[in-house]
Amino acid sequence: LEQWYVILNGAVEIIFGDNRAEILCMGNSFGISASLVKQHINGEVRTKGDDCQLVCIAQEDYWRILNHMEKNMQKVEEEGEIVMVKEYRELDRSGTCKGHIVIKGTPERLIMHLVEEPSVVDPTYIEDFLLTYRTFLSSPMEVGNKLLEWFKVDNLRDTVTRIVLLWVNNHFNDFEGNPSMTQFLEDFENLLDEAKMNGHLRLLNMASAAKAKLRQVMLQKTNRDSPLPFSLLGGSERGFGIFIDSVKENSMAFEAELKRGDQIIEINGQNFENISYSKAADILRNNTHLCLTVKTNIFVFKELQNCVRNDKKNGAPHFTKCFEMKGNRFSIAEMPGDIELPTDSKSYKKMKAHTVSAGRYKIRKMMEKTRFSILPPKPFSDACIGQSQDDSIVGTKQCRHSVAIMPSLSSSTPDLQQPTTSTLSFSNPTDVPDQVIRVFRADQQSCYIIINKDTTAKDVVLNVVKEFGLIAGHETYSLCEVSVTPEGVIKQRRLPDQLSKLAERIQLNGRYYLKNNMETETLCSIEDAHELLKESQISLLQLSPLEVSAQLSMRDFHIFQNIESTDYVDSLFKLNSSNGHLKQFEELINQETFWVATEILHEANALKRMKTIKHFIKIALQCRECKNFNSMFAIISGLNLAPVARLRGTWEKLPSKYEKLFRDLQDIFDPSRNMAKYRNILSSQSIQLPIIPLFPVVKKDLTFLHEGNDTSVDGLVNFEKLRMIAKEIRHVVQMTTTSMDPTVMFHPRSLSQGSTNSNLLDVQAGHKKHVRRSSLLNAKRLYEDAQMARKVRQYLVQLQVETDEEKFQILSLQCEPAYSTCE
């Protein structure tokens, strides 16, 4: 052994001359020491695997490298002790990008370095520090107190502000749920206000609002007359959402951490982002059980406070005009405004022809050209809100004195002859009518209604009444939800008029019905209930592989995207942290692997088993297309489990086309050369974000950096190690910076050309009506796509996965016994 060796992959066994043996693994090194004195070490090195990789460095080169490093070192001393060590580096051959970079130091000196002149070769020091300080500091306030102190120094003020802005933007979870850090943020805001740094204060509030997460707060009142433990501010009449203005101390809301400046997004399932103050107050008063979805939004709350102050000063209410905002600045939908409709028949027909469908993209392109609204205006005040039979859901109440400023129109069949409509902004995707629901009558006739997320039950009723050509006014009818339990019990519930998100709420065992409030009629017969119950029972082979991969990827990406970058550090260093999403994501690969085995081994029929295997290969292929490498690997692993792989009789029935596909998919995860093929795909310039990486590889890389380097060197924090870990985490987090849009990444769920105004009567029970066939097929196709998505989601939610590998072996032998000729 005349050289110095570093193990890049695999493991080796070293047998020394005295027969002493030692096993070293990836990241370890062995061999001669850094000296020019000739050295010989007697022994034998044996590799412990087929893919063992070593780097060999000659003794002279090894000495030169270490000696060169010593010359490039710069040591910072205080009171005779080394507190920081820097290393001189050149990042390019031209010599323009060169300087000293921190490689280790004391915690206090590392904090001090935050406000020192940044090095051109170490531009990410602040980012790396804010991510990894938790590994060597007991509290973030050790940094926070220093920042508050340095802010008072004029020449450090801008640097400190930049650090705090970066901290809030990258790691807002350090502030949420931590009272001392929340207080730090408030103190810093006051300092910015005192220093008249209004631009920076605005940026800080915007960052806080953007990074805040939705929270759920559960409150219970003793009765409806009980006073609320908080006060409200805002409302759509001011152009804002509903905010918490104050919270009574020591109340239930105070203990539930409801705070001043929280925006109410939803209460008991009803959207509060575009609601009047009076209606919001009525809903809160008329419910005893309140489930609030809130989000800290200090930025908009301060805008609202300024608006209220201006109103008091001017003596008149302020209404935000629709042209004053682009998109959804204040988290509300657009305010109504007057537009002129085209007078020529050609333009009118063109506009009408595009109002149904053509998918979100085509509708957006058409509307950008015409600038006409196809959606109903949202009134400033709410009129005639019917009392729900189940006010625990929403709790709306009849409003006698409110007058609707705008007529309420259906989102699915807007009346284009109305002189007043709302301006449609496609910066808010919920404005685009891209959902379809099916509404039945008691005689089982049905029609498809094209809606968007904010379309209410009242809008749907008005539209369905028109479609069926009913004589009675829409006030006579209501929308009901009928569902069938697994035991066959039929449940019927009248929906509140202002209930939205209708397409998302309906389950496979439920239907929407139009009910005449003046009559008693059976909406769903026993025969229809049995049919509905049968439709709600799902098996894997009924599901589209494309849709399964889409929903699987959307679910997994949601978990992956919600992992905080600090969670990786906490998990790696075993710090006290919840790491909820990280643990959930880590468990996905085992769940999905066992899911594959469970589906295959529980199928007794050999032909259906083969079809199930083929189905999973298709799903894995689609996961590859949408860059979900984690699920793709899990499915391949499930097919390679011994109890599944031994089913030769089943595998022999698999068409050769799918055998080749399976081999190609396996080849991507070839473990040789540190999974080089998989890594090459990830590093390819052609691959686009978002990506769901193979988590075991992510964990392996981080563990390699952590275990292969000491956290403390000579009593100093090894910041070079922390820098490498931070760089790897940033690379992983970068994969989530683009949202996963199924309409773009998987398959277009759009409608083809047609007209929305004919909302497509489905002819059933022998009742015929003339409809445009293309429109019927368009809406029906969109509805069927949505139904398939619902089926897949319900299948994934209800999935029961077997995790006992011994039971897998028993099931495998039941499928194909060991004595079988197929064995």
What CATH number is associated with residue 687? 1.10.840.10
Q: Supply the CATH number for residue 510's domain.
A: 3.10.20.90
Token pair in block for residue 806 = 């011994």
- Tell me the C-alpha distance between 158 and 141, whole Å: 20
The pLDDT value given to residue 87: 87
In a domain, 30, yes or no: yes
Give domain status of residue 88, yes or no.
no
> Do 243 and 388 belong together in one domain?
no
Same domain, 232 and 293: yes
DSSP one-letter code for 342: P
CB under 8 Å, gap of 24 or more: what pairs does 736-743 form? 736/557, 736/560, 736/561, 736/689, 736/690, 737/689, 737/690, 738/688, 738/689, 738/690, 739/690, 740/553, 740/554, 740/557, 740/561, 740/626, 740/690, 742/550, 742/554, 743/359, 743/360, 743/361
| pLDDT on residue 16 | 79
The Cα 791–Cα 797 span in angstroms is 10
502 lies in a domain?
yes
Q: Same structural domain for residues 263 and 394?
A: no
**Per-residue model confidence as pLDDT tens digits over 455-487:** 889 999 999 999 888 888 888 899 999 999 988
Say if residue 318 is in the same domain as residue 377. no
Q: Which of 388, 406, 408, 407 is nearest to 397 (CA)?
A: 388
| Same domain (yes/no): 528, 574 | no
Does the residue 264 lie in any domain?
A: yes
Residue 689 makes CB contacts below 8 A (sequence gap 6+) with: 734, 735, 736, 737, 738
Among 15, 37, 70, the domain-final residue is: 70
Kindly give the parts of the chain with pLDDT less than 70.
1-2, 34-36, 39-41, 63, 66-71, 91-96, 119, 315-433, 577, 742-777, 819-823
In terms of residue numbers, what domain contains 245? 215-332
pLDDT given at position 225: 85
- Domain total in the chain: 4
Determine how many CB atoms are found less than 10 A away from the CB of residue 652.
11
Token pair belonging to 639: 């097919």
Answer whether residue 806 is part of any domain: no
Buried b (16+ CB within 10 A) or exposed e, 188-220: bbebbeeeebeebbebbbbbbbebbeebebebe
Which CATH number is 280's domain given? 2.30.42.10
pLDDT of res. 387: 35
Q: Does one domain contain both 276 and 404? A: no
Inside any domain, residue 184: no
Residue 293 sits in the same domain as residue 363: no
Residues 513 and 551 in one domain: no
End residue of a domain, out of 725, 745, 765: 745
Question: Do 527 and 550 have their domain in common?
Answer: no
| pLDDT for 305 | 87
* Residue 144 placed within a domain: no
Q: Does a structural domain hold residue 103?
A: no
* Residues 437, 308 share a domain: no
563 and 522, same structural domain?
no
Domain boundary among 535, 550, 574: 535
What is 211-238 written as a DSSP string?
HPPPEEEEEE-SSTTSPPSEEEEE-GGG
Residue 164, burial from CB neighbour count under 10 angstroms (0-12, 13-18, 19+): buried
Q: Are residues 358 and 312 in the same domain?
A: no
